[in-house]
């Protein structure tokens, strides 16, 4: 009996201490003018609930109590969450008015201080200019699309009569395709060393910045150091050889007068990491989910296959996809947009205040993050009738792509600069996949939609020739 009383006493004491700590943390942020909300634990905040519950954390547990504008503490910093479409559009369109990119510290540490998501002002303009020069329509048409086509042909060969994990294959595809565009001559020799480090880097970007052994943050940061070494040696080797290379790294390293966006080696390396990172998740996940949705919607697959078979009929067997073919893939583009909308690969965008500023009638302190949460816009029945249905035909009307709340690829001056390159990669992948193969799912694995869209146990399909 005495032991039970001691255990009960300890339990009550711990409960009281936890309650006191939570109350103390709430009092720290109970400043006049702040929006309503809860802050959770010191340091950790409500990150665990946010990552585990995702949309339910936002929609049911917070927005239902506090409305579409509330405060929290997620991913290591005090944050105001905005779920209001009008306000979100204003925030994204007014970066110069006291708002700059506000990505989590883990992302900034691992992607580098020179990555395009971290910089602003004149530096952002220079970095964005350098990036846009690499992925302009002219570059896609003349330099990148031939590399993409050559890679996809080889990558998608010999899948017949195999059970494959399409999640793993699309991850490999997205990484290796980008690597070939960045460093075409060396891509094969560095891929085996580079790829596992890159995958660890990706996991580390969405974690609490706690530098302890075994954490995703520590593993991601160590992976960055290994990647810096790989890329540094690659740049040094190219500089010593003095050969010219017509790939992204070759263009970034140019020293001639035609290069208006000269970057330091550190900036070049961060730019390469940014290109790999920004394209990897969107391209791999959209490709995987397109395969999933096409399997589940045979009429959509039939229409898509019809479009691509029409292109193949106009070509010789070994003739590559060209720019005009890409532009003719209207239904494919619609499938990509509908997949991105329904799967919601990008849930929102983070900004940081550079001064105390008023938003929505509240005062947001300097240094706070604002999470422009755009996920729910994708399911707005006024914008997308029957929003949970996979219906690519809705995008055949070009007006939907240009409407004010089209934020699938970000918005304002931060709209994803690689949007058209990503669409080219996914379109080429789908072209060779649907014209060569048919497939069926094996196992019916579970899909998660937050914080990343993924199949925890893989997504297995049995592939056979078409």
Annotated binding site: 416
Tokens 């604002």 correspond to 370
Would you say the C-alpha torsion 122, 127, 128, 132 has a positive or negative sign? positive
* Backbone Cα Rg of the chain: 24
Question: Beta-carbon neighbour count of residue 233 at 10 Å?
Answer: 12
Q: Any idea which residue has 């943050």 for tokens?
A: 217
Report the candidate in 182, 171, 180 with the shortest Cα–Cα distance to residue 150: 180
Please choose, from the candidates 429, 449, 454, the residue with its C-alpha nearest in 3D space to the C-alpha of residue 174: 429
**Dist CA 321 CA 148 (whole Å):** 9
Cα 392 to Cα 15, 130, 379, 388, 449, distances in angstroms: 52, 34, 14, 12, 20
Structure tokens at 445: 């694995």
- What are the tokens at 193? 């060393």
Q: Are 295 and 441 in contact (CB under 8 A)?
A: yes
Instruction: Give the DSSP H/E element, type plus range, for residue 441.
Output: strand 437-441
Cα separation, 246 vs 251, in Å, equals: 7
What residues contact residue 436 under an 8 Å CB cut-off, 6+ apart? 156, 159, 160, 465, 466
Count of CB atoms situated within 10 Å of the CB of 84: 16
Angle at 235 between CA 234 and CA 237, to 5 degrees: 65
The edge-to-edge listing of strands for the beta sheet with 77-82 is: 69-74, 77-82, 369-373, 348-353, 99-101
CA dihedral 387, 388, 391, 395 (to 10 degrees): 40
> What CA–CA distance (Å, rounded) separates 412 from 94?
8
CA distance 329 to 7: 68
Which residues contribute to the annotated binding site for heme?
A: 416
3-state secondary structure 212-259: CCCCHHHHHHHHHHHHHHHHHHHHHHHHHHCCCCCCHHHHHHCCCCCC
């Amino acid at each position: 009996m005495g032991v039970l009383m001691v255990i009960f006493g300890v339990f009550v004491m711990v409960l009281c201490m936890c309650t006191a700590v939570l109350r103390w943390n709430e009092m720290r942020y109970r400043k006049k003018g702040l929006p309503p909300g809860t802050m959770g634990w010191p340091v950790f905040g409500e990150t665990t609930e946010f990552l585990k519950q995702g949309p339910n954390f936002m929609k049911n547990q917070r927005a239902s109590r506090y409305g579409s504008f509330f405060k929290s503490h997620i991913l290591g910093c005090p944050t105001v969450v905005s779920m209001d479409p009008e306000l979100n559009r204003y925030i994204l369109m007014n970066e110069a008015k006291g708002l700059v990119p506000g990505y989590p510290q883990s992302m900034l540490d691992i992607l580098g201080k020179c990555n395009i998501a971290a910089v602003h002002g004149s530096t952002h303009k220079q970095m964005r200019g350098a990036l846009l020069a690499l992925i302009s329509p002219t570059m896609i048409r003349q330099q990148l699309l031939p590399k993409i086509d050559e890679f996809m042909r080889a990558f998608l060969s010999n899948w017949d009569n195999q059970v494959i994990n399409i999640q793993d294959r699309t991850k490999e595809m997205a990484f290796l395709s980008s690597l070939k565009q960045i460093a075409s001559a060396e891509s094969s020799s560095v891929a085996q060393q580079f790829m596992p480090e890159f995958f660890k880097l990706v996991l580390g970007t969405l974690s609490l910045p706690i530098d302890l052994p075994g954490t995703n943050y520590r593993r991601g940061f160590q992976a960055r150091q290994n990647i810096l070494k790989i890329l540094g040696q690659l740049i040094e080797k190219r500089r010593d050889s003095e050969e010219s290379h017509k790939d992204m790294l070759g263009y970034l390293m140019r020293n001639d007068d035609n290069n208006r966006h000269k970057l330091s080696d550190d900036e070049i390396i961060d730019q390469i990491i940014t290109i790999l990172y920004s394209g990897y998740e969107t391209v791999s996940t959209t490709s995987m989910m397109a395969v999933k949705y096409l399997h589940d919607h045979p009429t959509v697959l039939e229409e898509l296959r019809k479009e691509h078979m029409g292109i193949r009929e106009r070509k010789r067997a070994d003739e590559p996809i060209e720019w005009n073919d890409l532009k003719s893939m209207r239904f494919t583009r619609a499938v990509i947009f509908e997949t991105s909308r329904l799967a919601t690969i990008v849930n929102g965008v983070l900004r940081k205040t550079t001064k105390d500023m008023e938003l929505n009638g509240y005062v947001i302190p300097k240094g706070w993050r604002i999470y422009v949460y755009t996920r729910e816009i994708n399911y707005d029945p006024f914008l997308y009738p029957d929003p949970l249905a996979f219906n690519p035909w809705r995008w055949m009307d070009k007006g939907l792509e240009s409407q004010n709340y089209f934020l699938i690829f970000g918005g304002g001056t931060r709209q994803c600069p690689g949007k058209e390159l990503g669409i080219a990669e996914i379109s080429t992948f789908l072209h060779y996949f649907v014209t060569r193969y048919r497939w069926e799912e094996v196992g019916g694995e579970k899909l998660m939609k937050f914080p990343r869209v993924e199949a925890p146990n893989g997504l297995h399909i049995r592939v056979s020739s078409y």
